[in-house]
């Protein structure tokens, strides 16, 4: 692998002094990668307007977005717009989507590297999209990583690093005075109402929380100031003049999001609970009507309608219980099986419904459609498959795939002509419509003297979710 100097001399117009500055910064990016739980890169500009990766560092304690090194590879403008923007306008770019050299989607934050008169490179922080919004903090790193970062920041070559991290940083000397504070710390304290300069203040006068064993010992503490929430870490420094570094992560926005999610989850649970109750009320009214009706055809239509309503209700019941938009497909199908058996409890045929389910979660819209399809298939088998028989068996088989999963409903009944049997039947119309339009899948039907087998497949997650 070529060195930073070799890459810059071959591909860029940087001077020897510029390259030396890039090399010095590259020595500190491993600490930044561990602190941020992110992939860190330094890119330099090419004559074409694209950039070349000259240095990289991957986090030790969390997975990288990359399988191989990308040093020496091109960062194209159309794939990494944040890098292109920072080179063009000379200011930082925060939280923009990008496509890596390995075709992975990430979120980039980019800081310019200047020689005083022009931009000579950029410092890039990358996280995969799912990690960026997962709400996980970077403060779960080991004490050793923080200590290494603190030592790097307080060194002469690493002093620039204090302005590149997202946390507030205070450096405390042996006299207990604040001798250094980055911009994030100054803004945070001004927001909390402190009007004076931080530097020169006694730390005990500005500390947000009192460490249990004194400020010179490593400690991690959660603190709240008004409506603000912080995670504060004290890291002991092994120098003659400095006592410790205080790293403060502002968790206020994250706490507010958590509270909003809790409230939203409660509201969603209540909504599903009410929908379920309303559907079950309708089903109860239909059941009363069935008992009062004497017309066999009317009774049959009402039973089919009631069964369809209960199949939808089953999904809402699980959603009301869990409070999230994901349900286990096995739980839904077990509820459908129970409802169908209950509706045919007075049947003259002894019918068993077995189930072999590779249980997995899917979103509510898919679960509701699957529930209705399986309900129709079970109803069809229960009504028509066992005419003239004393007993029968229906099997439900669920097989999970990477992108598509499939469900098979198989019975040992008398079979039917799959091409001409009940072409205008409402149940089959519902099945085919749901599989095509809602589940984006296909259906395959086989039937003969040994029974019938219906298999359909469906996307594991909604199309909108997959496109994210």
CATH assignment of 255-467?
A: 3.30.565.10
d(CA 207, CA 216): 13
Q: What is the pLDDT of residue 214?
A: 54
Q: Where are the alpha helices (DSSP H) in 328-406?
A: 329-343, 364-384
Please, where in the chain does CATH 3.30.450.20 lie?
139-250
Q: Which fold has domain 139-250?
A: Beta-Lactamase (3.30.450)
CATH architecture group of domain 4-136:
2-Layer Sandwich (3.30)
- Dihedral, CA of residue 45, residue 50, residue 53 and residue 59, to nearest 10: 110
Helix (H, G, I), strand (E, B) or coil at 459: strand
Please, where in the chain does CATH 3.30.565.10 lie?
255-467
Q: What is the pLDDT of residue 465?
A: 41
Q: What is the pLDDT of residue 119?
A: 94
Assess contact for 459 and 466: CB atoms under 8 A.
yes
Q: What is the pLDDT of residue 144?
A: 44
Q: What is the pLDDT of residue 437?
A: 84
334: buried, middle or exposed (CB in 10 Å: 19+, 13-18, 0-12)? middle
Q: What is the pLDDT of residue 158?
A: 46
- The pTM score is 0.44
Q: What is the pLDDT of residue 54?
A: 96
Q: What is the pLDDT of residue 260?
A: 76
Please, where in the chain does CATH 3.30.450.280 lie?
4-136
Q: What is the pLDDT of residue 138?
A: 40
Assess contact for 427 and 311: CB atoms under 8 A.
no
**Element housing 310 (H / E):** helix 296-322
Q: What is the pLDDT of residue 425?
A: 66
| Rounded average pLDDT per 10-residue block, the chain, 468 residues | 92 94 94 91 93 94 89 90 89 87 89 92 88 44 49 52 73 88 88 84 82 57 82 81 85 81 68 76 84 84 81 73 72 85 80 85 84 88 86 92 87 73 66 86 88 90 48
């Amino acid at each position: 692998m070529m060195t930073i100097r070799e890459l810059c001399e071959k591909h860029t117009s940087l001077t020897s002094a510029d390259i030396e500055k890039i090399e010095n910064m590259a020595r500190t990016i491993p600490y930044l990668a561990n602190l941020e739980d992110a992939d860190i890169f330094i890119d330099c500009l090419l004559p074409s307007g694209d950039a070349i990766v000259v240095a990289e560092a991957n986090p030790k304690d969390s997975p990288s977005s990359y399988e191989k090194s990308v040093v020496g590879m091109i960062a194209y403008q159309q794939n990494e717009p944040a890098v292109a923007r920072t080179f063009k306008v000379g200011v930082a770019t925060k939280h923009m989507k990008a496509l890596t050299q390995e075709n992975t989607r990430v979120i980039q934050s980019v800081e310019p590297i200047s020689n005083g008169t022009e931009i000579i490179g950029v410092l890039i922080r990358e996280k995969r999209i799912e990690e960026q919004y997962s709400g996980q903090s970077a403060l779960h790193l080991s004490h050793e990583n923080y200590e290494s970062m603190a030592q790097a920041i307080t060194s002469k070559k690493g002093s620039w690093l204090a302005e590149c991290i997202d946390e507030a940083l205070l450096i405390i000397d042996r006299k207990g005075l604040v001798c250094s504070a980055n911009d994030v710390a100054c803004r945070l304290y001004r927001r909390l109402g402190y009007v004076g300069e931080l530097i020169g203040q006694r730390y005990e006068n500005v500390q947000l929380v009192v460490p249990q064993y004194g400020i010179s010992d490593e400690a991690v503490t959660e603190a709240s100031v008004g409506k603000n929430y912080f995670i504060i870490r004290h890291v002991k420094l092994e120098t003659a003049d400095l006592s410790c570094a205080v790293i403060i992560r502002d968790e206020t926005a994250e706490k507010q999001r958590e509270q909003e999610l809790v409230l939203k989850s409660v509201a969603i649970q209540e909504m599903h609970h009410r929908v379920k109750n309303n559907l079950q009320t309708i089903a109860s009214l239909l059941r009363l009507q069935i008992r009062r009706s004497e017309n066999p055809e009317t009774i049959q239509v009402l039973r089919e309608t009631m069964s369809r309503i209960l199949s939808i209700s089953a999904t809402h019941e699980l959603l009301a219980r869990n409070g999230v938009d994901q349900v286990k497909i096995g739980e839904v199908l077990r509820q459908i099986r129970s409802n169908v058996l209950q509706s045919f409890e007075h049947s003259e045929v002894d019918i068993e419904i077995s189930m072999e389910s590779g249980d997995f979660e899917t979103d509510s819209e898919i679960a509701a459609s699957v529930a209705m399809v399986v309900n129709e298939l079970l109803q069809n088998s229960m009504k028509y498959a066992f005419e003239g028989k004393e007993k029968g068996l229906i099997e439900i088989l669920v097989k999970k795939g990477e992108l598509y999963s499939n469900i098979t409903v198989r019975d040992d009944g008398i079979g039917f002509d799959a091409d001409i049997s009940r072409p205008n039947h409402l149940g089959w119309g519902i099945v085919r419509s749901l599989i095509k339009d809602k589940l984006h899948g296909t259906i395959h039907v086989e039937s003969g003297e040994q029974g019938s087998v219906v298999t359909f497949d469906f996307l594991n997650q909604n199309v909108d979710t997959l496109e994210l």
